[in-house]
Amino acid sequence: MTRETTPMIDVENVAVSLGGTPILDSVSFSVPAQSFVALVGPNGAGKTTLLRTINGVLTPDSGTVSIDGNDVRSLSRRAAARLVATVPQDTTISFEFSVRDVVAMGRTPHRSRFQRADDDDSVERALRRAHISHLADRSAGSVSGGERQRVLLARALAQDAPALVLDEPTASLDITHQVRTLKLVRDLVDESATALAAIHDLDLAARFCDSIVVISDGRVLAAGPPESVLTESTIAEAFGGRPHVHRHPVTQSPTITTLGTRESEREHEHGQEREQQ
C-alpha cells in the first residue's frame, strides 16, 4: 500500500436526520491523506452518526462523503469495505467464534479461493499488532470488554483498508492500552494509512493527532491543528465548564484541566455557608 493510493476523506455539507430529528447540519471538513484526525465533542453532538455516514452505513439527507474521490453512496458494500475499515464503539460480540475467526472476518472484502495464504498472513499480523496473539484461540465472547475492543481493532487491521474510521477506540481500555492503541494508529498513519477517530480524551487527541475537528450541536465548531483548536474559549463553548489549557511538560502537546462551572462553585460555597450556620 503506497501513499499515492491512500484516500482522502471529504465531508461536504452533510446533513443527517434520524427519526425526524436533525442530528447533523451542514458538516464539512476533510481528512488529508496520511493524517490522523480526531473528532471530539460532547455526548450527543453527532460524532457516531457522522462516522456511520462516512463509512456508508447511513445515507445523508443532503451533502456528500467521498473517499479517494469516490462518493460512498456509489460504492458497493464490498468496494467501500476495501477502502474504509471501521472500529465501532459497541464491542458486543454475540457469537461463539474464536478471536482468530473474528479477526479473519476483516478479510471478507478481499476473500477469494485463491487468497487463503494471504488472508492467514494478514490475520496473524493483525493479531500481533493489536497485542492479542495470546487470545487467538479464546472464544470472542469470553474476553473482557477492553480485550474485545482490541479484537475489533485487529479485525479492522486485517481488513487492510487504506482508511480507518474509529468510534471511541479507547473507551473500554485502561490508560496503558489507550496509549498503546493510539500509538498503533499513529504508526499506521506514519506508514501510509489515513485515520479519523472519535476520541473522548482531549489530551490524548492532542498528543497523537495531526488535527482535531470539534463537533457541537451537529455542526463543526472548529477544525485545525490541536494548538489552534484546543483553546479555552472553544472548549468552554463545546463542553461547558471553565477549562484551563497549558502545555504538557513531557509531550509538549496541549493539555486541559477543566474546573467546575461558576454556578456549581457558587452552589458549593453556599452549601458550605449553610453548614457553618
CA distances from 185 to 130, 162, 170 (A): 10, 12, 11
CA distances from 177 to 136, 160, 170, 181 (A): 18, 22, 8, 6
Helix H or strand E segment including 183: helix 175-191
Q: Where are the domains of the chain?
A: 3-225
Can you tell me the distance from the alpha carbon of 3 to that of 189, in angstroms, rounded to the nearest whole number?
Answer: 10
CATH class entry, domain 3-225 = alpha beta
Question: Of 52-56, 95-99, 254-258, which has the strongest mean pLDDT?
Answer: 52-56
Q: For residue range 29-79, list pLDDT tens digits in order.
A: 999 999 999 999 999 999 999 999 999 999 999 999 999 899 999 999 889
pLDDT the model gives residue 53: 96
Phi and psi of 147, rounded to 5°?
Answer: -65, -40
Residue given cell 487504506 in the structure block? 162
Span 130-152, mean pLDDT? 91
- The band of 120, judged by pLDDT with boundaries at 50, 70 and 90, is confident
- The band of 202, judged by pLDDT with boundaries at 50, 70 and 90, is very high
SS3 272: helix
- The total of other beta-carbon atoms located within 10 Å of residue 224's CB is 14
Predicted TM-score of the model (pTM): 0.85
- The residue among 5 and 172 whose pLDDT is bigger is 172
Angle at 169 between CA 195 and CA 207, to 5 degrees: 65
Can you tell me the distance from the alpha carbon of 20 to that of 5, in angstroms, rounded to the nearest whole number?
Answer: 38
Mean pLDDT score of the chain, rounded to an integer?
88
Q: For residue range 221-255, list pLDDT tens digits in order.
A: 999 999 999 999 999 999 998 999 998 888 888 88
